Amino acid sequence: MTPTNAANIASDLPVAPGTYRAGSSPVGLHRVLEPGGVLPQAAWRLDASPELYADEVRVRVDRLNLDAASFRQLWDRHGGDGDAVRAEVAGIIASRGKMHNPVTGSGGMLTGTVEEVGPQSRLGLAVGDRIATLVSLTLTPLAVADGLREWDGRSEQVPCDGHAILFGRSIAAHLPEDLPADLALAVMDVCGAPALTHRVVARYVAQGRPPVVAVIGGAGKSGSLALASARRAGAARTIGVVPVPAERDTLVEAKLADAVALADARDPVALSRAVEAAGGPADVTIVCVDVPGCEHGAILATADLGTVVFFSMATSFPSAALGAEGLAADVQLLIGNGYAAGHADFALDVLRGSPGARALFESRLAAHTHPQR
Amino acid sequence: MTPTNAANIASDLPVAPGTYRAGSSPVGLHRVLEPGGVLPQAAWRLDASPELYADEVRVRVDRLNLDAASFRQLWDRHGGDGDAVRAEVAGIIASRGKMHNPVTGSGGMLTGTVEEVGPQSRLGLAVGDRIATLVSLTLTPLAVADGLREWDGRSEQVPCDGHAILFGRSIAAHLPEDLPADLALAVMDVCGAPALTHRVVARYVAQGRPPVVAVIGGAGKSGSLALASARRAGAARTIGVVPVPAERDTLVEAKLADAVALADARDPVALSRAVEAAGGPADVTIVCVDVPGCEHGAILATADLGTVVFFSMATSFPSAALGAEGLAADVQLLIGNGYAAGHADFALDVLRGSPGARALFESRLAAHTHPQR
């Protein structure tokens, strides 16, 4: 029997309370409805039925935090019509059993309260725990009960009543008690960036050559934490690059970077010149802007034997690979992995230690009723 | 005056022999016709006119070597109709001024003879040199004079009469005298893979933990050189993964890997189980198959704190980034940069030292009238 068949049959049968469905896969293969045999992230549609398999956890969802690239695409597509954005998000969740934007391929994360824990779960969660999921919404079974009616469709943060399923192998973090939930959530959403930035910078430092670090999109969420993290890891110099004067002023005031440069990241020549003028070229360049076409500029701004880390989901793989080749650039190109052991706690700690980053996050949260660059 | 305007005007004017156009950019900005201000690889159309700028080199082209993903797409689209494939390639070159497949975003490389060298070129080339270009065709100005009439449209290797332009900062390698040109060309086409594989494996070895290396697509061009290179760098164990029994037999006979596993790389569960059974999980996984959907399998087959290197142009950036996150996989994800200093000479040296890899290349060259997996 294939996983697909098993899931279909199981969800058609009533399950008595206290009994659990058997035969689950720790990575969620048993929840994949179509196409069969792929992992949940690659699936078109997931089974989001609330009955648990023995190693699963069900979460009562109170908030979704949409990926920035996904929200931007929806916002742009509907010309800023919040009702249309809400209707499309509700429709995606209903048809796919997950919040997986089919255009951008990205999702987001959620918060909620643990509602039921299967007897074989090893995630360390208990009923009533307040948590955030740190795996993408693109692979998390999700069902909405309230039609998202509390959401105006004008912000990445979506109030929501519904349920989500965590698999045997998943990642969920307890929401910290010393930080507001929306702040913690916003930090956790991008917690892969400070963790990987720290690792990469520390590797150069350990080799006796503290690097010049440029963060493209330094005033954004992942960007500001990457800057704070680079400094903490021992960078020789940090350069924040932003596209508009308002963000430059904000970033200068936050004191997160040794230098702040103004450039359009989609213009390779302008970007590389701006980084150069700010003390570059960079040994490590971190790309944190969710707009397409930044690959070549990042590569051109990076010194020989340097490293570029792409956190933007708008990154084009061929453009990065062929761009480096075309520029005869001997640089290491890293895909920003959203997961590293301990990344959530690390990111929260970076925020606690950086008043500038915290101020940026708080002002973004206060102002997030309109999409930002 | 913008580069676009300059290029347009210049190509409309007759240029006297011995005089050169001025105002060029080392990375080729001056050859971009549309859209303006982007690098040549990102451009829709390049100026391929034969008159040189002072730092350029013109090559008389005798052969194109299409990127495998590009040729496969064309072949599949036209259902194996060689005439239609030829017509489309000729049409792409005529309309774009470069061989840049708009669907796959990939190109290939070329060989030819240096025809003219601008007085300010620093590539070290002389008129009459036999060379291969090691930058992608996606950014190389190219014009075809013979309509590709010598090509049957059924192979990646395209006999061709035409000319190409090398910029001030470019990469060209002299064709070695001890190897047939088609063999050297096929090796240089994938020379980024053995170079980067060697670097990554050597880094683990230097840390005192020689890695288990799995190469997905181990019987292919880049795959076989990656296997040979991993062994040369000191891998603890090499595993070649292939999709069909015929390739398994070929790879076993070539003695390039300590173990050969059979699996469909698009099936994450099957792939990870096959690698596991062959002595995995892998500390380093190299993805060399040009089919979409291999990201999750590669990640699932890789051990914690391992590294995955994606050389396939069919790699999806979001699928890799979100897949690792969704699988809670703390692995380093590398975009396979096609360039590293000395990569061509290194790859040729790996081939010379590996009778198995050489035999694979030679048999592929002999049989390449049909696209292979």
Nearest to A268 among B39, B328, B338 (CB): B39
Chain A neighbors of B303, CB-CB under 8 A: none
> Given this model, what pLDDT does residue B368 score?
60
For tokens 């730092």, what's the residue? B55
- Over residues A69-115, the pLDDT tens digits come to 899 999 999 999 999 999 999 999 999 999 999 999 889 989 999 99
Does A335 contact B334 at a Cβ distance shorter than 8 Å?
Answer: yes
For residue B60, is pLDDT > 90?
yes
The answer, yes or no, to whether residue B260 has pLDDT greater than 70, is: yes
Mean local confidence (pLDDT), A182-199: 92
On whether the CB atoms of residues A180 and A136 are closer than 8 A, the answer is no
The encoded tokens of residue B256 equal: 């390039």
- Predicted confidence at residue A370, as pLDDT, reads 46
Task: Report pLDDT digits (tens) over B30-47.
Answer: 999 999 878 898 899 999
B39 CB neighbours in chain A (<8 A) are: 268, 296, 300, 323, 326-327
Distance CA(A96)–CA(A116), nearest Å, equals: 23
Check: CB of residue B213 under 8 Å from CB of residue B201.
yes
Do strands B282-287 and B302-310 pair parallel, antiparallel, or not at all (unpaired)?
parallel
Give the pLDDT score at A93: 98
Query: Which position has the token pair 């010194």?
Result: A303
Which residues have C-beta within 8 Å of that of residue B19, sequence separation ≥ 6?
A: none
Confidence bin at B121 (pLDDT 50/70/90): very high
B1 to chain A, closest Cα gap in Å: 16
Q: Which chain B residue has its CA at the smallest distance from A315's CA?
A: B317
Distance of CA B372 to the CA centre of its chain: 16
Q: Which residues pair with A45 in a beta bridge?
A: A34
Contacts of A168 in chain B (CB under 8 A): none
Beta-strand (E) ranges in chain A? 32-34, 45-46, 57-66, 108-117, 130-133, 142-144, 157-166, 172-174, 212-216, 237-242, 259-262, 282-287, 302-310, 332-335
Answer whether A43's CB lies under 8 Å from A33's CB.
yes
Alpha-carbon Rg for chain A, nearest whole angstrom, is: 21
Q: Looking at beta carbons, which residues of chain A come within 8 Å of B202? A: none
Residues B356-370 have a mean pLDDT of 83
Q: Which residues contact B285 (CB under 8 A, 6 or more apart)?
A: B213, B214, B215, B216, B275, B298, B299, B301, B302, B306, B307, B308, B309
Distance CA A6, CA A28 (A): 13
Confidence of residue A17 (pLDDT cuts 50, 70, 90): low
Please report which confidence band the pLDDT of residue B19 belongs to, taking 50, 70 and 90 as the band edges.
confident
Among the partner-chain residues B169, B269, B331, the one whose CB lies closest to the CB of A337 is B331
- Provide the pLDDT for residue A307: 98
For residues A11 and B141, what is the distance between their CA atoms, to the nearest angstrom?
A: 58
DSSP secondary structure letters along A171-185: -EEEPPSSS-HHHHH
Of B39, B327, B335, the CB nearest to A27: B327
- Rounded average pLDDT over A261-276: 94
Looking at A208-316, list the stretches that DSSP marks H as alpha helix, in order from N- to C-terminal side.
221-233, 245-254, 268-277, 295-300
**Are A328 and B339 an interchain contact pair (Cβ–Cβ within 8 Å)?**
yes
Paired residues of A261 in beta bridges: A241
- Asked whether the predicted pLDDT for residue B371 surpasses 80, the reply is no
Sheet of B172-174, strands arranged across: B142-144, B157-166, B57-66, B108-117, B130-133, B172-174
- Where do we find the tokens 């040109």? B181
- Asked if the model's pLDDT at residue B4 lies above 70, the reply is no
The pLDDT of residue A298? 97
* CA separation for the pair A352, A240 (Å, rounded): 20
The residue among A107 and A8 whose pLDDT is bigger is A107
Distances (CA, A) of B365 to B82, B130, B347, B359, B372: 18, 20, 17, 10, 11
Residue A17 to residues A28, A60, A116: CA-CA distances in angstroms? 22, 17, 11
The predicted pLDDT at position A141 comes to 98
User: Which residue, B329, B326, B274, B336, is CA-closest to B305?
Assistant: B329
Place of tokens 């009778």: B355
Q: By CA distance, what is B266's nearest residue in A? A: A38
Cβ pair B252, B182 in contact under 8 A: no
**Amino acid letter, residue A116:** E
φ, ψ (nearest 5 deg) of residue A235: -60, 145
pLDDT tens-place string over residues B182-224: 899 889 889 999 999 999 999 999 999 999 999 999 999 999 9
- Helices then strands, counting H and E runs in chain B, come out as 12, 14
Could you say which of B40, B106, B341 has the minimum Cβ distance to residue A330? Answer: B341
- pLDDT exceeds 60 at position A8: no
Q: How far apart are CA B220 and CA B244, in angstroms?
A: 12
Closest CB to B170 among A268, A310, A328? A328
| Rounded CA separation B308/B294 (Å) | 11
Give the model's pLDDT for residue B6: 35
Where residue B326 falls among pLDDT bands split at 50, 70, 90? confident
Residue with tokens 């390698």: B173
Residue bearing the bigger pLDDT, A211 or B26: A211
Cross-strand partners of B307: B284, B332
In sequence order, the β-bridge partners of residue A262 are A242
pTM across the whole model: 0.80
ipTM > 0.95 for the complex = no
- Interface touch A332/B334, C-beta < 8 Å: yes
pLDDT at residue B341, rounded to an integer: 83
Concatenating the DSSP letter of every residue in A108-159 gives EEEEEEEEEE-TT--S---TT-EEEE-S-GGGS-EEESSTTTT--SSSSEEE
**Ramachandran sector of residue B147 (left: φ over 0; alpha: ψ -120 to 50; beta: rest):** left
Q: Give the model's pLDDT for residue B17.
A: 57
Mean per-residue pLDDT for A126-137? 92
Considering just the CA atoms, what is the radius of gyration of chain B in Å?
21
**Confidence tier at A135 by pLDDT (50, 70, 90):** confident
Enumerate residues 6+ apart whose C-beta is below 8 A from A244: A262, A373
Give Cα separations from B104 to B55, B69, B141, B339 (angstroms): 31, 7, 18, 20
Whether A297 has a pLDDT exceeding 60, the answer reads yes
Please return the burial class of B301, using the count of CB atoms within 10 Å of its CB with bins 0-12, 13-18 and 19+: buried
3-state SS assignment for residue A30: helix
Contact call for residues A231 and A210 (beta carbons, < 8 A): no
pLDDT at A249: 96
Q: How does residue B338 score in pLDDT terms, banded at 50, 70 and 90?
A: confident
Average pLDDT, chain A: 91
Asked if the model's pLDDT at residue B8 lies above 80, the reply is no
Angle at B189 between CA B188 and CA B192, to 5 degrees: 75
Round to whole Å and give the CA distance between B72 and B82: 12
Average pLDDT over residues A115-130: 94
Give the span between the Cα atoms of B103 and A342, in whole angstroms. 39
With left for phi above 0 and alpha for psi between -120 and 50, is residue A151 left, alpha or beta?
beta
Select, from the ranges A9-18, A171-180, B9-18, the one with the highest average predicted confidence (pLDDT).
Answer: A171-180
Q: Write down the pLDDT at residue A148.
A: 97
Judged against a pLDDT cut of 90, whether residue A10 lies above it is answered with no
Residue, of A337 and A373, whose pLDDT is higher = A337
- Between CA A173 and CA B42 the distance in angstroms is 41
Cross-chain Cβ contact B296/A323 below 8 Å = no
Q: How far does A344 lie from chain B, in Å, by closest CA?
A: 13
